Structure 1
Amino acid sequence: MTLTTRAVLSGVTQTLQALDAILDKAVEQATERKIDPAVLLSSRLAPDMLPFTRQIQLACDFAKNAVARVGGGENPKFPDEETTVPELKARIAKVLAFVAAADDAALDAGLAKDVTFPRGASATVTMTGLNYLTRFALPNFYFHAATAHGILRENGIQIGKGDFLKGVFDI
């Protein structure tokens, strides 16, 4: 059996869809408890960590950047301007559409090619597409997705591992 890049990216799609559903639960529970959702969006797990909104933005960025860089296509720029849950959901939807539209053959071919990407303000790093995807992009994607989930849990939103893994068993 040959594992395709699309198969690997199916986990990204599933996790983005789960984050979208988690956002719905967060709004529903915040409304029931008379909590302004903006409070959740600015929450963080620790003082030196980024807030919830930025975690969602970064999860989206790592997903789209991986597809664009490995697939060799145009990398859309999404300004980090979201301040509401509907805006975050719209960003997730744009990334899901971008991932779905990616060329499978280009993604598979890109695993053997070099990918150069920025690291910090003034440095770049080059590695194979396979190493970029498996050792950098995907770990960062899942880190930010799990951190967003953790922030909501820390704030009393009743979600669990099953919410994070939503869709896993729908295959």
Structure 2
Amino acid sequence: MLPNELFIHPLRQLALLLQKIQQHDIDLLDAVLTDEQFPLWQQAQTAIGFSLRACCALCEKEVPTFTKPMPVWLDLQQQIQLSLDYLTLLTAKDFDGWQQKPIATTAGFAELELAGEQFVYLYALPNFYFHYSMVYAIARAQQVPLSKADFDGWHQYPAGFSFLR
């Protein structure tokens, strides 16, 4: 599986998750889990950005910018769609030798140099899923009725199911 393919399904799922969150009664774009963390909109943008940041580094391409400052729901959906459009155009040739390619990046204030495979599996994917999970966690903390199926798109549960009953 090529690195871009690792992000396509979860990005589509993030789009569906954001639609479901938007349908809730209150605007949650600025909601946070704690005052020290990014708001929902920035968690979403950061997750989306990691998909591009990872794939572009491995393809030696400049990372396109699809973000808008202080986005509304539609902006986030457009950012996801533009990112998906970009990622689906990348080919196996673009990723030639990606596993061994040295990738220089930063993690907070740390400077890292990782082989491409380490970069994808130990850095980019965990960071993508961290920020994606924060979107889900913020929404759940705000009482948006979401399930694991909303997060991963695979799980199925009957209506009204709870692990606590």
TM bucket by the smaller chain?
0.7 to 0.9
Q: Please, which moves more after superposition, 156-165 or 67-76? A: 67-76
Structure 2 unmatched runs, 5+: 157-165
Aligned 8 A contact 1:119 1:125 in 2: yes
- For residue 10 of structure 2, the aligned residue among 3, 9, 15 is 15
Query: In the TM superposition, what is the alpha-carbon distance from 1:80 to its structure 2 partner?
Result: 4.5
- For residue 5 of structure 1, the aligned residue among 2, 7, 13 is 2
Structure 1 moving runs of 4+ over 6 Å: none
Q: Which residue of 2 aligns with 1:83?
A: 71
Q: State the TM-score, normalized to the length of structure 1.
A: 0.82
C-alpha separation between the residues in 2 aligned to 1:5 and 1:18?
19
Report the count of equivalent residues. Answer: 156
Query: In the TM superposition, what is the alpha-carbon distance from 1:70 to its structure 2 partner?
Result: 1.0
C-alpha separation between the residues in 1 aligned to 2:67 and 2:23?
27
Query: In the TM superposition, what is the alpha-carbon distance from 1:126 to its structure 2 partner?
Result: 1.4
Q: Which residue of 2 aligns with 1:68?
A: 56
Q: State the TM-score, normalized to the length of structure 2.
A: 0.85
RMSD of the TM alignment (CA)? 2.0
Q: Which residue of 1 aligns with 2:159?
A: none
Higher helix proportion, which one?
A: 1
Query: In the TM superposition, what is the alpha-carbon distance from 1:87 to its structure 2 partner?
Result: 0.7
SS of 2:100's equivalent? coil
Aligned 8 A contact 1:57 1:80 in 2: no
C-alpha separation between the residues in 2 aligned to 1:21 and 1:104?
28
Query: In the TM superposition, what is the alpha-carbon distance from 1:61 to its structure 2 partner?
Result: 1.0
Aligned 8 A contact 1:14 1:168 in 2: no
Query: In the TM superposition, what is the alpha-carbon distance from 1:105 to its structure 2 partner?
Result: 2.7
C-alpha separation between the residues in 1 aligned to 2:53 and 2:46?
10
Q: Which residue of 1 aligns with 2:105?
A: 117
Query: In the TM superposition, what is the alpha-carbon distance from 1:44 to its structure 2 partner?
Result: 0.9
Structure 1 unmatched runs, 5+: none
